[in-house]
Chains A and B, each alone.
Chain A
Amino acid sequence: MSKVADILETMEYGPAPESAALAEQWLETRKRTFGLFIGGEWREPVSKRHFDVINPSTGGSLARVAQAESDDMDAAVKAAEGALPAWKALPGHARARYMYAIARHIQKHSRLFSVLESVDNGKPIRESRDIDIPLVARHFYHHAGWAELMSTRLAGYEPVGVIGQIIPWNFPLLMLAWKIAPAIAMGNTVVLKPAEFTPLTSLLFADVCGEVGLPAGVVNIVTGDGRAGELLVQHPRVDKIAFTGSTEVGRIIREATAGTGKRLSLELGGKSPFLVFDDSDLDSVVEGVVDAIWFNQGQVCCAGSRILVQEGTADDLVAKLKARMETLRIGDPLDKAVDMGAIVAPVQLEKIQQLVRQGEAEGASIWQPSWSVPREGFFYPPTLCTDVGPAATIAQVEIFGPVVVLMTFRTPDEAVALANNTRYGLAASVWSENINLALDIARRVKAGTVWINCTNMFDAASGFGGYRESGFGREGGLEGLWEYVRPSWEHDLPVGQDPIRPEPAEPRVRTSDGTPPIDRTAKLYIGGRQTRPDGGYSLPVYATDGRQIGEVGSGNRKDIRNAVEAARLAASWGTQTSHLRAQVLYYVAENLAQRASDFAARLVDLTGTSTTEAQREFDTAVRRLFTYAAWADKWDGHVHHTPFRNVTLAMPEPIGIMGVVAPDEAPLLGFISLVAPAIAIGNTVVAVPSEPWPLIATDLYQVFETSDVPAGVINIVTGQRDELTPVLAEHDGVDAVWYFGSTDGSTEVERASVGNMKRTWVNYGRRRNWFEERQAEGEEFLREATQVKNIWVPYGE
């Protein structure tokens, strides 16, 4: 029988290879050896050392790339620094033209980029051709637009400076685009280190930078292993680090940059839930799972790796999934008819194998299709794990491979509880034909992106980034731009000292008739009640002239613990209407205003300031409460214009429980300026007031109590700042810490935050002028008090 006749009998698929010729030719013209792209030219690494880049579908070497050492990194940072003044001085329109040209050139070379990406990474050509590379071009087009609009849409902001960017191997060129496009659009210059497994498309991108005539030094590409990344992170002339990769490495970077003043955005791991309700279109759900966990061999930070299915639907879904898994095709990434390619490297393959073995040992049922994977290269079959509980290792840790676990739930509440039972919070996918249910779940799941009836949808106009240990900062859309700009006045802020603390003086003051004053010892304010400090100690409070004018409780670890617990129990504050939150803030202002003379006198008494100044601080504090009452129902989200038939809702959400360490200076105004925006958005707060003058904050208890502030929304723990702050910063139940104190204290907060990778906002000892609106209130504060959740809602019946 002829071959055609044979095939007619079996109707099997045959090979459909995409040619690698152009990519091979490009590698050959470079003699398969690459230097570093620094200052617009190719340089040999100082060490002359190169390492092999492997094709994961064959195990063979594709090229040798340079290992950057310290001197190379210095040169790259220097080149970026040198290019910065001219680049940021360019009109936005000029930067837009360069970026437009980059987008065009990527499209022009799209097939070369796709093929190169697939041979380097192992992902199927379908994905690099239809998803990665088109998204790369789209990202540059979109951000060319932001460059154009920066002067109007981001007026008052300037670029951060030299940005160090470290990207992972799972979407090599796409992650490059996500990093470089917003950075250079906003006038920054960059040093980018691609992943050591997958540097080739970054190097081809360097060629594109040359082709379009991008000014030398605006983009520098420096290859190397983790040590090169470390050099970049630690480089003193880098103003910001943007990192995408594992939570483990993110944690190291957070520690390494603590206190340096380097800005940081981290997009880390995930264990994203994929929620299936019993009223969903199950056949579409199955394809959703394919896109969720077998896209890019599951090596996706936002992969839907935890299927949570309503119990009555589980058997149907499992049966359908198994049938579908049998029809998946795995093989040569350049074959146009495969669904899955190769795992990026042996080390990753071993990690997957080890975790699945562990899952099996812990009692999971492991199911894989009947067909076998290619022997050559690094392949792993699609894998479904059932009989898994939340306690199983494979249900908790990120596997970063084509392995999905399946668990069941019974009610929407239980679905949410299971979905949020993770340290991560990158993404979630919700499947239901009931819009009430789907939007309710979307709102309640802790994740930066929620896809309704779809999954792994990306676009430059939509922000992407995590909650919890999945990192902080957003990439894409307007919300992503804030990572690459700062207020133009910020660098002029003075680094100041804490106010001089009063020394005690004798004798104690007596009243005019000689009797001692009535003792006033302020307690702590936790859960809406004035409570004695756990330790049973108090601290004296002195006026500037040394008189002791009262005592406050000396809070300790346990008081912080109790306050955080109270703040947790008050979480429903975040789901109250913003109108109600505004009303409460107005009421606080109203009741505070009644006590103008008391508070002004107290300020004079404590800080020795003039009556006029005290009055001014008080008046400004009342006005600030009005400001945030005003903002409470106006801090709107966006509907992003993503190019699909859907709405992408960018919703600002409270971060959760916030630790707020108030400045010493302006003890009333500083305290209000921080607490008010935090609660206006719906966060609950554990506040540590000014250490020398805490009485001004403890005087607020009565105001809060009479103003309908729900118990636990504001908790105040007085005591020694440097003792209490680290407890807050380390607490895994605290979602963010704001700190406005000393330089050392700022460092400590950043360092201590690594436990749960909480968001931090510190002043590095720089003093804001709390009386000046531009510095002391407004959108910057609201942004720091919120995280943006992007909810994708496709529509169409």
Chain B
Amino acid sequence: MAVTTLDSYLDHTMSIAKDTRRHTPPVPRTEAHAAEQRNPGTPFDPAWIRLARVNRSAVERRAATLPRRRSVKKDWQAAWLLKAVSCLDLTSLSGNDTPGTIERLCAKARQPVRHDLLDALGVADRATHVAAVCVYHHFLSTAIEALRGTGIPVAAVSTGFPAGLGPFAQRVEEIRASVEGGAREIDIVITRSHVLTGNWQALFDEVKTFRDTSGPAHLKTILATGELGTLRNVAKASLVCMMAGADFIKTSTGKESVNATLPVGLVMARAIRQYHERTGSAVGLKPAGGIRQAKQALDWLLLIKDELGSRWLSPALFRFGASSLLADIERQLEHFVTGRYSAYFRHPMA
């Protein structure tokens, strides 16, 4: 077929997409997805956005003292680290990924911690795997195939990740293609410009379209907080994304120079709490980027428990986007089991 203009091309592909979707088998619901009702969103409410107030110094103080106020040791630490593993979106978003590296990633996702360690921890009878595997659309089928039968969903980053500045229709189409390709979670990026210019209506409309398009796949909206300038913007963008129906709000693509920081996480967690108080809908939080150490993971879990409560300590409402974090967690778990400090090479790599 001759494609004459971009518009007609889009119309064409979209109609194909709609067609195909009718024949797509229903998406199986995973344990994580089943646990919580999805956020249906709310009408756009500019007054609510205007009222968002964040005092940066006070937020930073809380974020700095929170990990100093709480500590988990011994069995508790081991359990919390296992919880962190179960909340992990094991991620590979490199330009040089290949089917081979993605298969290896998926193998690790199925068996993230050595059997002997799980045995020693007394949790061998529990299914211990990561929450999801997160890849580019290109590797969706590879990942889905590699994870068949495990119940581990595959997430695709989408909408022109990481900058999100491609043509809008193409970004929408990208979601559709990934959903059709079997992605059960879609990590989209927002147009930072909408935030930086205060065009909240445009942001709402954009995310609402993304959500409508993603259909049964859960939508994680990446705010790219490192590029939003202020914590107040983070709070407002969080609220707008939730109003537009985000299932998760996510800090970063991992590609910004500043990624998931605790102050940002605190602001987003408080926005989630407020949204929950006002609408009854529980939205998830996903910090991503820069979380490499087990101690950092514990700090995040402490923050979530203290600010949002234990309900949020579940893959249904909390995820880490990370790639190298798991290796450090494994070392800490082995240290707990053996009493000796561990080494990276003792744990199977992803």
Confirm or deny: B43 has a beta carbon within 8 angstroms of a beta carbon on chain A: no
B270 touches A13 (CB 8 A): no
CB contact under 8 A between A11 and B305, given known A5-B122, A130-B68, A337-B69: yes
- Tally of B interface residues using CB under 8 Å: 39
Q: In whole angstroms, what is the CA distance A2 to B82 when docked? A: 13
Contacting chain A: which of B30-38, B71-79, B140-148, B204-212?
Answer: B71-79
Stretch at the interface among A215-223, A244-252, A279-287, A606-614: A279-287
B340 within 8 A of A: no
A284 to B263, CA, bound (A): 12
B292 within 8 A of partner (CB): no
A641 beta carbon closer than 8 Å to chain B: no
Q: Which of A12-65 contact B (CB under 8 A)?
A: 12-16
- Residues of chain A lying within 8 A (CB to CB) of residue B29: none
B305 and chain A: residue at smallest CB distance? A11
Identify the stretch in B49-57, B129-137, B181-189, B195-203 within 8 Å (CB) of chain A at 4 or more residues: B49-57
Contacts of B68 in A (CB 8 A): 126, 130
Complex Cα–Cα for A11 and B305 (A)? 9
Q: Residue B126 at the A interface, CB < 8 A?
A: yes
**A331 interface contact, C-beta 8 A:** no
Is the CB–CB distance between A645 and B122 below 8 Å? no
Highest count of chain A CB atoms <10 Å: which of B60, B61, B82: B61
In the bound complex, what is the Cα–Cα distance between A796 and B57 (angstroms)? 6
18 A/B residue pairs, CB under 8 Å, sorted by A: A4-B78, A5-B122, A7-B75, A8-B82, A8-B83, A10-B310, A11-B305, A13-B76, A14-B72, A15-B73, A16-B73, A279-B53, A281-B59, A284-B55, A284-B62, A454-B57, A794-B58, A796-B56
Per the bound structure, the CA–CA distance linking A251 and B174 in Å amounts to: 77
Complex interface bits, B298-338 against A, C-beta within 8 A gives 1, otherwise 0: 00000001100110010000000000000000000000000
Which residues of chain B have C-beta atoms less than 8 A from A279's C-beta? 53
A336 touches B232 (CB 8 A): no
| B122: chain A residues within 8 A (beta carbon) | 1-5
Q: Do B230 and A797 have beta carbons less than 8 Å apart?
A: yes
Closest 6 A/B residue pairs (Cβ): A2-B122, A284-B58, A794-B57, A14-B76, A7-B79, A16-B71
- Contacting residues, chain B, for A795 (C-beta < 8 A): 57
Chain A residues with CB below 8 A from B76, complex form:
7, 12-14, 16
Verify if B161 is at the interface (C-beta below 8 Å from A).
Answer: no
A627 sits at the interface (CB 8 A): no
Chain A, interface size category, equals 35 or more
* Closest-CB distance, A118 to chain B (whole angstroms): 14
Residues on B facing A (Cβ under 8 Å): 53-62, 65, 68-76, 78-80, 82-83, 121-123, 126, 230-232, 270, 273, 305-306, 309-310, 313
Q: Chain A: interface secondary structure? A: loop
Q: A3-B75, A281-B59 are in contact. List 20 more A-B contacts (CB 8 A).
A: A2-B122, A3-B79, A4-B78, A4-B79, A4-B121, A4-B123, A11-B80, A12-B76, A13-B72, A14-B72, A126-B69, A279-B53, A281-B55, A281-B58, A287-B62, A336-B71, A337-B70, A454-B58, A794-B58, A796-B57
Docked CA distance A12–B59 (Å): 25
A453 at the A/B interface (Cβ < 8 Å)? yes
In the complex, the chain B residue whose C-beta lies closest to that of A18 is B71
Give every chain B residue within 8 A of A327 (Cβ-Cβ): 306, 309
Q: A337-B69, A339-B69 are in contact. Are A5 and B56 (CB under 8 A)?
A: no
Min CB gap A689→B, angstroms: 51
- In the complex, A324→B339 CA distance in Å? 36
In angstroms, Cα B79 to Cα A2, docked, is 10
Q: Known: A288-B58, A453-B57, A645-B57. Is A2-B71 also a contact (CB below 8 A)?
A: no
A1 and B71 alpha carbons, distance in the complex (Å): 23
Judged by a CB distance under 8 angstroms, whether A433 is at the interface is: yes
A411 within 8 A of B: no
- Asked whether A358 is an interface residue with its Cβ less than 8 Å from the other chain, the reply is no
